[in-house]
Chains A and B, each alone.
Chain A
Amino acid sequence: MSFERTQEKLKILADAAKYDVSCASSGSKRSNASKGLGDATGMGICHSYTEDGRCVSLLKILLTNYCIFDCAYCVTRKSNDIKRAAFQVQEVVDLTINFYRRNYIEGLFLSSGIFKSADYTMERLVAVAKKLRLEENFNGYIHLKSIPGASDELMKEAGLYADRLSVNIEIPTREGLKLLAPEKNREDFIKPMVKVKNEIIQYQSEKKIIKSTPKFAPAGQSTQMIIGASGESDQQIMWTSNYFYKKFNLKRVYYSGYIPISYDSRLPQIGTDVPMLRENRLYQTDWLMRFYGFEVHEILNNDHQNLDLDVDPKLGWALRNMEHFPVDVNKADQLMLARIPGLGMKSVYKIIQARQFRKLNWDHLKRMGVALNRAKYFLVCDSRDFERRDLTGPQLKSIILQNTTSKYQKILSPQLNLFE
């Protein structure tokens, strides 16, 4: 491995890969049974954090940034005048192993620009994973990108060596995709996703009968959407997301606020702020759908197409549905507890366990870590002291906003900047 050449390539191909936000390294259950290198049984580990506060858990690189496509939102689009580079299969293997041995990373996340054809590209991604598993006896985490349009045979092979596969649908709506990436169509993204989904189901059912059935993409599939590049609404984003979760059993959908990288008139211009607060609200909604028992249409529907920026989506839902409150924390079931603003799932479990011993009061809740500044308006407990005013949603919202400070204060009220 020539140090200078690898260094140059690494800079280019890590820079090009950074817009893929997936960093998950958990859920694989691949153990180090044969005294080889690596073990992916536990929870994911974030080995470091970059200055943007994002976690570094995988060596996230492109195999190459040469690409035959010209998608407007993408840095590696054909028409973009940037430095191009390509790794050899062995170089990626060496980098992964040496980084892993030093405990820098949990594994490899390998994506690629599409050169020559989908199959040609996918074949090389698979070759890296295969080499790591078979020649290096590597049991760390491998996330491979499914290249849109890749053949079923290649996808099947990919799943045997990778822990996770993902294909990014990028643009939440068909119309947006047509405008920004006219050479691509949604069917190409969906085809490998369907294949992998079916294989996972088949392998899992075989595993029930024959224990030695090999693993197939044990950490499942994920996808990513760019937010704010094509004028879509939050409703469109989250309904699409919900569709993909349900239809393809996805483990995760990632939302990536669009970072302006082009002067293309179809897109937000360079210098436009990254919609980080909106992205945050979308993730919160995603969590409510996956862990809190909310249906997407409860939060986003035709009457309410975009999420509030000033309050989180659970508080927003509660303020529009005051008839469900107050909830008695000593009696309510898990699903209803999970709907109280200010209560996370950890607090919910603690409450359910602790209330078997005695009735809980404000003091107990506070010490357990419940965010009472919001929660206190929505619950009653073992105390005569509770919110007695019959407040409407909007009244309560203004009270709560007056008494809390948001880390997004600057974005929410930009006029404050005048006095800084």
Chain B
Amino acid sequence: MLVSEEHTLIYDGTFDGFLTGVFDVYELKLQTVIFQRPESVQESLFGNTLEITTDLNKADRVWKGIKSKTSARGSSRLYAAFLSGQWQVEALLLDYIQLAFESALLIDSDFSNETVLKISQIAKSVGREKHRMEAFVRFRLTNDGIYFATIEPDFDVLPLISKHFKNRYADQKWIIYDMKRGYGLYYDLDKVEVMQLSLPEGFDATKTKSDYFIASELEFQTLWQDYFESTNIASRKNMKLNVQHVPKRYWKYLSEKLR
């Protein structure tokens, strides 16, 4: 038997880039591939390296193909799993896509298949993080009249929460900024746009200074903290349950947890 050649595909880290890569895998009939993002490229001793140029047409064709071979739930699981950015998640996704293309049945509910189960588990943790961010975002009103929030989610969930916040806060300008990934969403009362901020030198996102935020902002934080304390029932204290629901890594931007 011939040893199949291994190819390393370097793509730009976007979902469209990944889908373009999948297109090339089919077009060039590549057997064994490893996807790498530019920031994590490691020279492979064997095999060839291919640079993928993101092509929206190719990406679109693959995505349409995926949608015709998966349920709505299945395709949104694939996208969510991609956003996990987990090490080598691309290989798992490719495996899933190839399975879906080959199978006559929709494979999305085949939970006894290891790839399907794994993708659904990863998508579930991303979904949990999305839901947490919908809960844990804390806006503060800036002097410019924009409600501003900073987050540091485990996964890149901004694309998933955009619609939720747009529907909910349709009549106020807001920014949700991912400090970890250095980009954010800005809603200008009309549409949501991806944006990058050059934050002032020494800017501490956990502090509410009057240089940036309106005078009454601290008062509302205080009222919220007071409310949070008053609504607690001391004789039912259960910190284990508390931390289970709000893991400590999220406390940094939750004003009620900082007192």
Contact = CB atoms under 8 A, between A and B. Distances in A.
Interface stretch (A93-101, A142-150, A189-197, A335-343): A93-101
Contact of B231 (A31, A60, A95, A354): A60
30 contacts: A3-B216, A10-B223, A10-B226, A10-B227, A14-B226, A19-B233, A31-B167, A32-B168, A35-B171, A38-B168, A45-B134, A46-B135, A48-B135, A48-B246, A49-B241, A49-B246, A52-B241, A53-B236, A53-B239, A60-B231, A95-B223, A101-B147, A102-B220, A103-B137, A103-B138, A103-B149, A103-B169, A137-B171, A259-B233, A350-B109
Interface residues of B, number: 54
Nearest to B220: A98
Interface in A45-77: 45-56, 59-60
A214 interface: no
B236 A54 contact: yes
B242 interface: yes
Interface residues of A, number: 55
Interface string B214-226: 0010011011101
A293 interface: no
Interface string B88-117: 000000000000000001000111111001
A50 B231 contact: yes
Contacts of A39: 167-168, 170
A47 B253 CA distance: 13
A274 interface: yes
Contact of B111 (A7, A59, A354): A354
B172 interface: yes
A46 B254 CA distance: 13
Interface stretch (A113-121, A168-176, A356-364): A356-364
Given A47-B135, A52-B242, A353 B111 contact: yes
B235 interface: yes
B231 A17 contact: yes
Given A99-B227, A364-B112, 6 more contacts: A14-B230, A19-B233, A49-B241, A99-B223, A137-B171, A354-B109
B245 interface: yes
Interface of B: 105, 109-114, 117, 131, 134-141, 147, 149, 164, 167-172, 216, 219-220, 222-224, 226-228, 230-242, 244-246, 254, 256-257
A48 B112 CA distance: 36
Q: Which residue, of B113, B134, B135, B138, has the highest number of chain A Cβ atoms within 10 A? A: B135
A357 B105 contact: yes
Nearest to B131: A45
A231 interface: no
B241 A53 contact: yes
B67 to A, nearest CB: 20
Contacts of A182: none
A48 B228 contact: yes
For the complex of A and B, 4 pairs with smallest distance between CB atoms: A53-B241, A353-B109, A14-B230, A53-B238
A49 B109 contact: no
